[in-house]
Amino acid sequence: MVLLKDKKALITGGSTGIGAAIAIGFARHGADVAITFVGEKEDAAELSAQISSLEREFISIEADVTDYSVAGKVVSSVVEGFKGLDILVCNAGINIDSAVWKMEENEWDSVIDVNLKGCFNYIRAVSPIFKNQKSGKIITISSINGLRGKFGLSNYSASKAGIIGLTKSVAKEMGRYDVNVNSVAPGFIETAMTAKLSSEIREGAIKESALGRLGKPEDVANLVLFLASDEAKYITGQVIQVDGGQLI
C-alpha cells in the first residue's frame, strides 16, 4: 500500500539519523521530499542519490532552523519547487547536556532555539498555506525526555516539553482547517546524537526498555509515515511514544 502518493513533504534536519529515515520512508511511499540541514553536505548528497533512485523529486537546503526569516524563504522555495506542500516534519534537534549548575547561558539558548524555536519557525511558515488549502499534516519530533525529567537534560527536556505544548495548541488552532498536528516522542534511538553518549547511559536505556533493546531511526520513521498519511486523519494533538516501552 502506497501511503503518500504524490504528496510533497518538508523535513527539517533531514540529512542524517531519524530525519533521513523519514525522508527515505516518505519517498518509498510516493512522496517528493525536501530537507533542511546544517553542516553535513555529504549526507545530504547521499540522501539525494537514494531518493532519486526511488524516482521521487528531492530538494535539500542548507538552512539553520533558528532563523525565522530563512524559514519563510525555505518554505516558499519548496512550495515553488514542488508546486505545493502537504506535510511538515519538525525534526531538527541538538543536545548539549550538562547539570543545571554547570550549564552555560549559550548551552541553554542554543538547545531551546534549535529544538523549540526551530519548530515554531517552520510551523509559522507553513500554517497560512495549510489553513488556506484546508489540509496538511504537521509532525513534530519531541522525546520521552519532554515527558519526564532526566539528569543533565534540563535544556533538552524543557525544549521537548515546549514542543509538546506547541503541538497541542497548534492542533487546536488548525483542526477546523483539517490540519492534523501530532508529536512523536522517541526513546533512545541509535543515531549520531546518541553515539556520543557514554556506554553507561546506553546500558541504562537498554535496561529501562521493556523490549530490552535500543531503537532504530526506521522505528520512528514508520510512525511518522503513518501520521503523515490519510490513514491517521482522525488523530490530532497526540504525543505518541516510540521507545520500546522505555517510559511506561
By CB under 6 A, residue 224 contacts ligand NAD = no
User: Interface mask (CB under 6 A) for ligand NAD, residues 55-94, using x and -?
Assistant: ---------xxx------------------------xxxx
By CB under 6 A, residue 16 contacts ligand NAD = yes
> Which residue lies nearer to ligand NAD by CB, 72 or 131?
72
Q: Is 156 a catalytic residue?
A: yes
Closest alpha carbon to 140 in 217, 48, 223? 223
Q: Which of 114, 116, 170, 228 binds ligand NAD (CB under 6 A)?
A: 114
Q: With contacts defined by CB under 6 A, name the span among 31-39, 73-81, 175-183, 224-232 that binds ligand NAD.
A: 31-39
Rounded Cα gap, residues 93 and 88, in angstroms: 15
- Contacts with 229 (C-beta within 8 Å, 6 or more apart), sequence order: 3, 4, 29
The least CB distance from residue 177 to ligand NAD, in Å, is 26
By CB under 6 A, residue 51 contacts ligand NAD = no
What number of chain residues touch ligand NAD (CB under 6 A)? 30
- Contacts with 73 (C-beta within 8 Å, 6 or more apart), sequence order: none
A 10 A CB-CB count for 20 gives 26
- Contacts with 8 (C-beta within 8 Å, 6 or more apart), sequence order: 31, 32, 34, 78, 82, 83, 84, 85, 86, 87
Q: Which of 45, 192, 210, 248 binds ligand NAD (CB under 6 A)?
A: 192
By CB under 6 A, residue 244 contacts ligand NAD = no
Q: Which positions from 119 through 178 interact with ligand NAD, judged by CB under 6 A?
A: 141, 143
Rounded Cα gap, residues 27 and 19, in angstroms: 12
C-alpha cell at 42: 555529504
By CB under 6 A, residue 242 contacts ligand NAD = no
Rounded Cα gap, residues 112 and 110, in angstroms: 6
Binding site for ligand NAD (CB under 6 A): 12-19, 36-40, 64-66, 91-94, 114, 141, 143, 186, 188-189, 191-194
